Amino acid sequence: MTEQMQRMVLASRPTGAPQDENFRLETVDLPKIGDGEVLVRSHYMSLDPYMRGRMDDAKSYAAPVPIGGTMEGGAVGEVIASNHPNFSVGDFAFGMFGWASHGKAKGDDIQRLNPDLAPITTALGVMGMPGFTGWFGLMEHGRPKAGETLVVAAATGPVGSMVGQIAKLHGLRVVGIAGGAEKCQTATETYGFDACVDHRAYDTARDLRKALKAHCPGGIDIYFENVGGKVLDAVLPMMNQFGRIPVCGMIAWYNAGGLGADAAMEALTGPRIWRTILVNYLSVNGFIISNHFDRYGEFLHEVGPQLAAGKIAYQEDIAEGLENAPAAFRAMLTGGNKGKQIVKLI
């Protein structure tokens, strides 16, 4: 067994979009495992938008990655050493092993995978944290009802695509918002959305709103928020009374902060936002999925059979090599990925 591993560390905190100099690829000794721990050689690792927040030294729901620390993230791979009774060498597992070729963890903190049931990459996307996020946010905070209209931003990502497909299975009209004609085609043809609007085709929130109205003539009952920015500005005035907004992410603002450098001049102000929420009796719920993993088994029980039956589709965008993770991450933050962004390590 090799005695060394590679890891990608945070070399400095980015200002705006992350750059190459914010990361450093290191070769270090393999960690030793203690009682109850396992060592995994990662085959694939996940890239997710929340990781951008971990790069900032700012108050949040989780501590930032320290300078010189391994970038945080989930990965799947093969157990190569085990001091835990439930894991043997050769088993496959998911854990928070980070941007690294290998990782160790307590056996109680990782999930055994059966590659005969589904590709191990699905534990990073459709059947992992992103898919679970979409299902939980919609079912718990969206409270879908047949006949309603749902709009979901970042529609072809692993969260948005799950939201839309589950909503369709519950009898809703589903309208996606995505970046580019190709992604909009994917939303309708692959994921079965009723319509999808290309936000890149419209310079202002007002114009985007006009396009949305053509597909949501009766207004919007549920808006699943992944983006913020001009998309939120376009959608919020269209919300029906007693509408629900699960707030999952705000990727439009992750690099720029605040409203972002390119925010439209007519962007909604704080008073207008709160008045819209008040007079339309809206329910707006922020949630962090790590607080709700007690529901993960329920998600697997409901969605697993639907995936196996072909009722849930998914896409994966796989980059090659740990050294290319920063470039893939930057592209993902600006919509350059097609489906769940993954990095293949071996």
Encode pLDDT of 55-80 as tens digits. 988 777 788 999 999 999 999 999 99
Task: Report pLDDT for 267.
Answer: 56
Q: Which residue has the higher pLDDT, 239 or 15?
A: 239
Can you give the pLDDT at residue 1? 56
pTM of the full predicted structure?
Answer: 0.89
The pLDDT score that the predictor gives to residue 264 is 38
Q: Locate CATH 3.40.50.720 in the chain.
A: 129-289
Measured in degrees and rounded to the nearest 5, phi and psi for residue 125 equal -135, -100
Residue 249: per-residue pLDDT: 85
| Helix spans in 226-324 (H) | 229-235, 270-279, 296-308
- Whether the pLDDT of residue 254 is over 70: the answer is no
Q: What is the mean pLDDT of residues 131-136?
A: 97
Residue 265, pLDDT score: 37
Average pLDDT across the chain, whole number: 92
Class of domain 129-289: alpha beta
CA-to-CA distance for 308 and 25, rounded, in angstroms? Answer: 38
Assigned fold of 4-125+315-344: Quinone Oxidoreductase; Chain A, domain 1 (3.90.180)
What is the pLDDT, as a whole number, of residue 258? 36
Confidence label for 250 from pLDDT (cuts 50, 70 and 90):
confident
> Is residue 340 a contact partner of residue 47, using CB atoms and an 8 Å limit?
no
Q: What is the mean pLDDT of residues 131-154?
A: 97
b/e 172-199 (16+ beta carbons within 10 angstroms → b): bbbbbbbbbeebbebbbebbbbbbbbbb
Express the helix, strand and coil content of the chain in percent, nearest 5 each: 35, 25, 40
- The DSSP 8-state label assigned to residue 192 in this structure reads -
Residue 175 identity: V
Q: Tell me the C-alpha distance between 57 and 87, whole Å.
A: 36
Would you state the pLDDT for residue 274? 87
SS3 for 35-100 is CCEEEEEEEEEECCCCHHHHCCCCCCCCCCCCCCCECCCCEEEEEEEECCCCCCCCCEEEECCCCE
Ranges of CATH 3.90.180.10 domains, the chain? 4-125+315-344
